[in-house]
Amino acid sequence: MAEPIIEMKDVSFSAQGERIVGKVSLRVEQGKTVALAGPSGGGKSTALKLAAGILVPSGGNVFYRGKNIDSMNRLQNLAFRREAAVVFQDSALWANQNLNQILELPLRVHFPDMGSGKRRERIREAMELVGYRRDLEVRPAMLSMGEQKLIAFARAMLCCPELLFLDEWTESLDDSAAQRLIGIVRRFKDEGKTIIFVSHNFPLIQRLADCVIMIAKGQIVRRLEGGEIAGDQDLAEMSGRELGLCGSEYALPIR
């Protein structure tokens, strides 16, 4: 069996005395696209952040290419952060910096020898990729939620990652913008790179996922592979309930 790119072994996470994720074990192979699905509040986003090394487990371990993320030295951690990018559900843009500063930071950290001209070129390419055409000298508060999501997605792509963690990444976007990002993720997948994403959008899950991990009450309750995904009634019904609660922006047609 090939070594997984991400592996979670008996991972648990608690906050304020409450168990949010408990004893989750998961292997994600290189080049696979894995969807995390389940009811709201069930622990999907927390599991994603644990897999991405954003949260430190209360128990268990998370490995990237066989290395325990929590035990990585500075250089190993920098390499991991360069290769694995995250798009957060709330975009997570720094409020006290303008968009250009926000986008320059990962390039300054991961490519310290890159000149200012090359940084500007890389940022311009990322803006063209996601279809953002407004001023970069403004702060995030001046943007709509959808525009903030575009900037967050562009930031994730700047360092040409091998692994993407996406949390409700089409939320707050209009149809045109959502389809653009979906197209980018499809190309990323076609290039043999790895994607782990959270979504309530059943058509999106059907179209992109090689595997679906269903999480409820902080634990994995089902795993669906390949052809099992499209015909699974539990997944379809769960997605329908969540779409009804969350609003129509989750139900974008996937072209």
* Structure token pair of residue 228: 């099992």
State how far the alpha carbon of 17 is from the alpha carbons of 14, 20, 50, 58, 70, in Å. Answer: 6, 9, 17, 11, 22
Average pLDDT over residues 137-149: 96
Q: Which residues pair with 215 in a beta bridge?
A: 220
Q: What is the pLDDT of residues 162-185, one digit of tens each?
A: 999 999 999 889 999 999 999 999
Please state which of the ranges 55-64, 140-149, 197-206, 233-242 shows the lowest mean pLDDT.
233-242
3-state SS class at 166: strand
Q: What is the pLDDT of residues 77-131, one digit of tens each?
A: 999 999 999 999 999 999 999 999 999 999 999 999 999 999 999 999 999 999 9
pLDDT beyond 50 at 40: yes
Give me the domains of the chain, ranges plus CATH numbers.
6-94+163-251 (3.40.50.300)
pTM of the model: 0.91
pLDDT beyond 80 at 232: no
Reported as a pLDDT band with limits 50, 70 and 90, residue 238 is low
Plot region of 90 (φ>0 → left; ψ -120 to 50 → alpha; else → beta): alpha
User: What is the amino acid identity at position 155?
Assistant: R
